[in-house]
Amino acid sequence: MSPSDALQDAVQIFLLGVAIYIIYRALSLRRALVDHPYRTRALWTAIGGLTIISFFFAGYLDSIFGETPSTITGVVVEGVIWGFTFLVLYGWIANNIYVALSSDFFHRDALYWKKGGGVVALVAILLSYVFASLPPWWYTSTESAVTNVAISVIFAAVALYATVVLAILYRRIADRRIKTYTRWVVLSVASILLLIILPTGVGFIAAIVWIYCVYRSVGSLAIRTQVLPS
């Protein structure tokens, strides 16, 4: 194993350890938090940490079956793990948007999210997932390249849409603690957008930023607890 590979493995192990801590910390806070909106945020922050672990695991399976698997087993395994990763990731983002919407005293919508934008985003993710999970022998090389670009564009568009919606809601929130939490969520979703559009080498930095922002969002929840957090 080369020194660079060993360093990369060490960094990934460290980041996975941070993700496990995020899950533990968020679930611990959820047991202590009093208000339901805070408990909901803590639960979905833990799910966000689980998404990080799932993302790394999916990348590991890519190294085994290939980013474009050529066997039925590879297609099924890759489809399941990436489907779980992106659907849970969408659930984490969407839940944060809905809770942020409920924090607005005037109950205003943002970019038609409540009027169908959130549903359209979910349908776009589901359709992209279906096409991404189809066996590679269903496509010619040209069709496969076009499909991969289209899927990346759709994922990036949904991430950008969610980021802008959260940014608008962030400006409307009066509660300073919720505002701080939402700010870290906005940065988390923005880093996911960078992770999608940047090359693999640079995208790894975006993954580190994503994990750090999720970690900071956990700390911003430590308020209104029955027992003071240690």
In the prediction, which pLDDT does 120 show? 93
Q: Where are the beta strands (DSSP E) in 73-212?
A: none
Of residues 220 and 168, the one with the higher pLDDT is: 168
How many whole angstroms separate alpha carbon 106 and alpha carbon 166? Answer: 16
Average pLDDT over residues 94-110: 82
Per-residue model confidence (pLDDT) at position 113: 93
pLDDT value of residue 178: 78
Structural tokens at position 2: 């080369």
Please report the sign of the dihedral spanned by the C-alpha atoms of residue 194, residue 196, residue 202, residue 206. positive
Q: Is the pLDDT of residue 219 over 90?
A: no
Burial class (CB in 10 A: 0-12, 13-18, 19+), 164: middle
In-domain check, residue 34:
yes
pLDDT, residue 200, reads 64
148: domain range?
Answer: 3-219
- The answer, yes or no, to whether residue 102 has pLDDT greater than 50, is yes
- The answer to whether residues 221 and 42 touch, using CB atoms and an 8 Å cutoff, is yes
pLDDT score, position 119: 92
Residue 224 lies in a domain: no
The pair of structure tokens assigned to 125 is 């993710």
Q: Count structural domains, the chain.
A: 1
Averaged pLDDT score across all residues of the chain: 81
Q: pLDDT, tens digit, for every residue of 22-50?
A: 889 888 888 887 777 778 888 888 888 88
Domain annotation covers residue 225: no
Domain membership flag for residue 127: yes
Residues 6+ apart with CB under 8 A from 93: 159, 162, 166, 189
Higher-confidence position of 27 and 230: 27
Q: How far apart are CA 230 and CA 228, in angstroms?
A: 6
Is 230's pLDDT higher than 70? no
In a domain, 227, yes or no: no
Q: Is residue 230 part of a domain?
A: no
Q: What is the structure's pLDDT at 123?
A: 92
Angle at 39 between CA 34 and CA 40, to 5 degrees: 150
